[in-house]
Amino acid sequence: MSLSEPPGNMKIASLKGVGAKTLERLGKLGLHKIQDLLFHLPARYEDRTSLVPIGRIKQGDHALVEGHVEVADVIAKGRRSLVCRISDGTGVLYLRFFHFTGDQLSRLKPGAILRCYGEAREGYYGTEMVHPDYEHISGGEVGSANQCLTPVYPSTEGLHQKSLRSLVGRALELCNEDEGILHEWLPGELLSTLAIPPLSEAVRLLHGPPVEAGLKRLELAKQRLAFEELLAHHLSVSRFREHMRQQPAPILRLGETVSRQFLASLPFALTAAQNRVIHEIADDIGTAKPMMRLVQGDVGSGKTVVAAWAALAALSSDCQVAFMAPTELLAEQHFRSFSQWLEPLGVQVAYLAGKHKGQVRRDTLESIAEGRAGAVLGTHALFQEEVKFQRLGLVVIDEQHRFGVHQRLALREKGARDGLYPHQLIMTATPIPRTLAMLGYADLDVSVIDELPPGRSPVKTSVIPSTRREEVIARISDWVKRGSQVYWVCTLIEESEAMECEAAENTAAALTGALLEVRVGLVHGRMKQGEKEEVMARFKSGSVDLLVATTVIEVGVDVPNAGLMVIENPERLGLAQIHQLRGRVGRGPGDSFCVLMYQPPLTQSAKERLGILRETSDGFVIAEKDLQLRGPGELLGIRQTGQVQFRIADFARDGGMLDQVKSTAEALLKHHPEAVVPLLSRWLADGTRYAEV
């Protein structure tokens, strides 16, 4: 450990007597350093503060009792177990152990005094506790119970509460010896404004609150920790942003003539929102600092053409553009749009497809390396080692929420050449509520395309019970007869992907049987990427009328002829997710419909949730509601991608503090820059990673 290292960074491994197995298990819980233990908060508490007379305990009680051993023996009847009877004069209690050692038995001598905590139940001989927590105590201690509630920590297999309690206890002792570990970085005024306790007080309280502490005090203590955690995240992202701002980037400009020529060639006029966002981008890329801009726009708002404009600016400034889509199918779709829009202006557009091998691939790679290919479309494979750009000036990432923050950062590094960093444009259809944007995306500037192209009418959404399935099927038949296409979405059943896929297979078979004249296609998560894309392509080309799909339907796929979508069991999905799904329809002229077919009965809250979708098609309103109802993880798929992971902070509870988090971060950077590194290493798993770039 270096001298400058904060004391809490000491490894748990440096504590005496912690074995390799225990360390491994702690590691599974993300506990490596002493301070990780301090922030590993109890999931709940047990009240072991008062002794209950044995005669008074009832079945189902969790109770702390004390008594002397009357008899202990191994009983072979039924499942072999060690049974021990204790008494405190008010009654007798049987302790039963299915796992035990000979040593344990030999210590349970008649007369030995035990203190036990466990759940009482009716056993074979009378009231018993199975595997209670117990300890031998000597006569002197009799009668005195714990002073504080006993913490029960989130744990993992093989790691006992006793070990965790003792480790946390040792970590707290170290804090007594060294004030530095829980050093207070927050200004006193802030603590009083927010009415939250100092760090050291909060940590101690949470690991062993006195019975009378009350929920309110515990909540405030948690908020205290959450505040600091959010602060650390904010600091790490703003430092990173600062760092990026210092890097040089190529200046990209699009001349008036070419810009006009490009816009005039489009079969439509840009919306005011698209124009505004183009100006915001132009301002960014016209300077020698790398742009980091997130463009949010509801599905169908026309983000691609905005990206194409930016691409043209890069190309006009002698730079290349990399455009990354989350799937091959989308990359191909963008390739077609870009070719159509940019080739007439003399730009060579390339598509680096996964399926291209051998000579074709080598040729593409060469044209990229030599700078002949100006705009290059592809999936994340674009950033493999073998892909070398001659002069990359702009990176566009479509549907960013599919990529983690780290992938995003890696791209920047990858793009850096000759000391110049490419500009970055990130596009997403998932509306990110302001509160969340402040954290996970705090390194990005945000533009919003808050307007749909004219003539799009919102998707008409109806909520109906599955008892009307026949009717829905009949409607599909009419729909297809009129030459339109239909999506049928099967949703997650019992949280099992396999079952979801099976349900989709069964539904596809049933619909094929019921709708003889309709050509049915099926895509689900267990199919190979190639197979999925082939079916999607057939749907796109119109040779499939009805596409039965699980929720894997690719984001952003544009099939304007599909005007009806049926979503089964929508009550299982988040609102934002349903909104995304239904954005697949309503991309062409004419009315479009979404049928939310739920499994009755529907709870009152589910009714309200689905009602929101019927009433509004504003992605932001829906996302805000979803955030309130489900939390940020669900909304952004964060849990899967590992974008923002908090140990303690909880958006529902702590979201309201974000403005103060932001201003505190600014104040600390200005007046106490020395606080930054200790705070980052205290809270972030990868410590000072962002701070050191």
Q: Give the binding site for ligand ADP (CB under 6 A).
A: 268, 270-271, 274, 297, 299-305, 429, 453, 556, 558
Size (the chain), residues: 693
Taking the complex as a whole, the smallest distance from the CB of residue 330 to ligand ADP amounts, in Å, to 9
d(CA 593, CA 475): 11
Taking the complex as a whole, the smallest distance from the CB of residue 326 to Mg ion amounts, in Å, to 10
| Residue 171 neighbours by CB distance under 10 Å | 25
Q: Which is nearer to ligand ADP, 297 or 574 (CB)?
A: 297
213 neighbors 641 (Cβ within 8 angstroms): no
Taking the complex as a whole, the smallest distance from the CB of residue 271 to ligand ADP amounts, in Å, to 5
**Binds 270, which of Mg ion, ligand ADP, none (CB < 5 to 8 A, cut-off by type)?**
ligand ADP
**Binds 493, which of ligand ADP, Mg ion, none (CB < 5 to 8 A, cut-off by type)?**
none
391 neighbors 320 (Cβ within 8 angstroms): yes
Q: Which is nearer to Mg ion, 303 or 682 (CB)?
A: 303
Helix locations, 515-618, DSSP H: 529-541, 575-582, 604-615
**Binds 123, which of Mg ion, ligand ADP, none (CB < 5 to 8 A, cut-off by type)?**
none
Q: Which is nearer to Mg ion, 209 or 556 (CB)?
A: 556
**Binds 558, which of ligand ADP, Mg ion, none (CB < 5 to 8 A, cut-off by type)?**
ligand ADP
Taking the complex as a whole, the smallest distance from the CB of residue 544 to ligand ADP amounts, in Å, to 20
Cα dihedral 421/422/423/428 (nearest 10): -120
| Residues with Cβ within 8 Å of residue 426, at least 6 apart in sequence | 292, 293, 294, 295, 396, 397, 400, 408, 444
Taking the complex as a whole, the smallest distance from the CB of residue 389 to Mg ion amounts, in Å, to 23
Q: Which is nearer to Mg ion, 129 or 281 (CB)?
A: 281
**Binds 98, which of ligand ADP, Mg ion, none (CB < 5 to 8 A, cut-off by type)?**
none
Q: Which is nearer to ligand ADP, 305 or 376 (CB)?
A: 305
Please list the residues that pair with 75 across neighbouring strands: 81
Give residues in contact with Mg ion (CB under 5 A).
556
Q: Which is nearer to ligand ADP, 304 or 364 (CB)?
A: 304
- Using CA atoms, how far residue 196 sits from 193, 289, 669, in Å, is 8, 40, 22
Half-sphere CA count of 349, side-chain side, radius 13 A? 22
Taking the complex as a whole, the smallest distance from the CB of residue 456 to ligand ADP amounts, in Å, to 8
Taking the complex as a whole, the smallest distance from the CB of residue 557 to ligand ADP amounts, in Å, to 9
| Residue 65 neighbours by CB distance under 10 Å | 27
Cis peptide before 326 (omega within 30 of 0): no
User: Closest CB to ligand ADP belongs to which residue?
Assistant: 302
**Binds 305, which of Mg ion, ligand ADP, none (CB < 5 to 8 A, cut-off by type)?**
ligand ADP
Taking the complex as a whole, the smallest distance from the CB of residue 621 to ligand ADP amounts, in Å, to 18
DSSP 588: S
- Using CA atoms, how far residue 343 sits from 175, 350, 395, 469, in Å, is 66, 11, 19, 48
Q: Which two tokens stand for residue 385?
A: 């080692």
Helix/strand/coil (H/E/C) assignment for every residue in 294-310? EEEECCCCCHHHHHHHH
Taking the complex as a whole, the smallest distance from the CB of residue 566 to ligand ADP amounts, in Å, to 21
Taking the complex as a whole, the smallest distance from the CB of residue 303 to ligand ADP amounts, in Å, to 4
Cα dihedral 290/291/292/295 (nearest 10): -160
| Residues with Cβ within 8 Å of residue 151, at least 6 apart in sequence | 42, 45, 165, 168, 206, 207, 208
CA 109 to chain centroid, in Å, comes to: 53
**Binds 551, which of Mg ion, ligand ADP, none (CB < 5 to 8 A, cut-off by type)?**
none
User: Closest CB to Mg ion belongs to which residue?
Assistant: 556
**Binds 405, which of Mg ion, ligand ADP, none (CB < 5 to 8 A, cut-off by type)?**
none
- Using CA atoms, how far residue 262 sits from 18, 278, 375, in Å, is 67, 13, 15
Burial 332-367 (b: 16+ CB within 10 A, else e): bbbbebbbebbeeeebebbbbbeeeeeeeeeebbeb
Q: Which is nearer to Mg ion, 83 or 331 (CB)?
A: 331
- Using CA atoms, how far residue 139 sits from 54, 134, 143, 393, in Å, is 18, 15, 9, 78
**Binds 22, which of Mg ion, ligand ADP, none (CB < 5 to 8 A, cut-off by type)?**
none
Taking the complex as a whole, the smallest distance from the CB of residue 353 to ligand ADP amounts, in Å, to 19
393 neighbors 375 (Cβ within 8 angstroms): no
Q: Which is nearer to ligand ADP, 61 or 558 (CB)?
A: 558
Q: Which is nearer to ligand ADP, 326 or 374 (CB)?
A: 326
**Binds 268, which of Mg ion, ligand ADP, none (CB < 5 to 8 A, cut-off by type)?**
ligand ADP
